[in-house]
Amino acid sequence: MAVLETFEHNGVAIADTFAEAFTMVGTRVIVTAATPAWAEIAGTQATGFATSVIACNAEAAIECTVPPESTPDGRPGVSLLIFAFNRDALTTAVIDRVGQCVLTCPTTACYNGLPDGEPDKQFNVGGQLRFFGDGYQGSKKLGDRRLWRVPVMDGEFLCEEQFGSTKGVAGGNLLICGTTTENALAAATAAADSMRQVPDCVLPFPGGLVRSGSKVGSQYKALKASTNDAWCPTLRAQVDSVLPDTVEAVYEIVIDGLTIDSVTQAMRAGLDTASNCDGVELIGAGNYGGQLGQHHIQLRDCL
């Protein structure tokens, strides 16, 4: 068994290690609709299949709901954060997701959620999707922002032309280790709920949780990543495990954010919440020895 250096917080062992995160390019997309339910549906569809760039074209999730008084058109909305490795990849992902999942959804409109960003970091979305109008599309101005009006069968789809982007951080993480699956799941769920209260970040995996934490590489050459065997309780007797004998289940929480501070704050909130839950034996973080990610977020610094 591998030996982890630990310290205690709220009576729970915390691995004295770091989460290894990566620089990504991110954007915020504001989706509005006639009702909160339709805005939520569009946001959920647009951020589907967006858990990890290991196999998805983006990492994305709903950041929060947006009240009518805070949206450009005075309607209820949701804020989406979408991340990719570079601006070209982000452009493709956003156009595809807005075109297939927001344009198609009843009553929706779509706006740039980073309007104060630098002009040279913007990319064109509405100017590409306008061609769906087949020549019947038109443009309008909202202050100094250009929007495109695309005719659809319930009226028109309004989409802003330019969207802002910024350098973000993806891959902040926590590993919640519990004495039973029920305890680990309850603690990880509570931690994820607290982390979602931190602005400028999202948890891209289902419900915010990951049962299939991964390591880089595999014994199969075609795979970029494979199961994180050192943190798999069922493999404890077969590998150099880091888990105490009392741990029966581990859930990972991955955080993507527009800033390193937002990711660190989310990790802090999650760590504090999970360490106050019953049946949590250990909280750790995933890293690759510091060789791959540019950002090393120490768990000790999160307290």
pLDDT higher than threshold 80 for residue 15: yes
- Is residue 178 situated within a structural domain? yes
Residue 217's domain comprises 6-17+168-302
Q: Which of 164, 190, 209 is the last residue of a domain?
A: 164
State pLDDT tens for residues 87-126. Answer: 999 999 999 999 999 999 999 999 999 998 888 899 999 9
- pLDDT bracket for residue 223 (50, 70, 90): very high
Q: Considering the chain, what percentage of its residues have pLDDT values greater than 70?
A: 100
Tell whether 100 and 190 lie within a shared domain. no
Dihedral over alpha carbons 25, 26, 27, 33 (to 10 degrees): 140
- Is residue 1 situated within a structural domain? no
Cα–Cα distance measured from residue 271 to residue 282, given in angstroms and rounded to the nearest whole number: 10
Average pLDDT score, the chain: 96
Tell whether 38 and 137 lie within a shared domain. yes
Give residue 3's pLDDT. Answer: 78
258 closest CA partner among 162, 117, 161: 117
| pTM, to two decimals | 0.96
The mean per-residue pLDDT over the stretch 270-282 comes to 98
Question: Using an 8 Å Cβ cutoff, are 262 and 268 in contact?
Answer: no
pLDDT higher than threshold 90 for residue 51: yes
Give residue 2's pLDDT. Answer: 77
What is the tally of structural domains in the chain? 2
Tell whether 156 and 210 lie within a shared domain. no
Give residue 91's pLDDT. Answer: 98
- Is residue 58 situated within a structural domain? yes
Give residue 288's pLDDT. Answer: 87
- Is residue 235 situated within a structural domain? yes
Q: Which of 103, 130, 164 is the last residue of a domain?
A: 164
pLDDT higher than threshold 90 for residue 1: no
Tell whether 201 and 260 lie within a shared domain. yes
Give residue 235's pLDDT. Answer: 97
State pLDDT tens for residues 160-186. Answer: 999 999 999 999 999 999 999 999 999
* Geometric angle at alpha carbon 198, from 81 and 87, rounded to 5°: 25
Tell whether 144 and 180 lie within a shared domain. no
The mean per-residue pLDDT over the stretch 219-247 comes to 95
The mean per-residue pLDDT over the stretch 70-97 comes to 98
Question: Using an 8 Å Cβ cutoff, are 282 and 2 in contact?
Answer: no
DSSP code at position 247: -
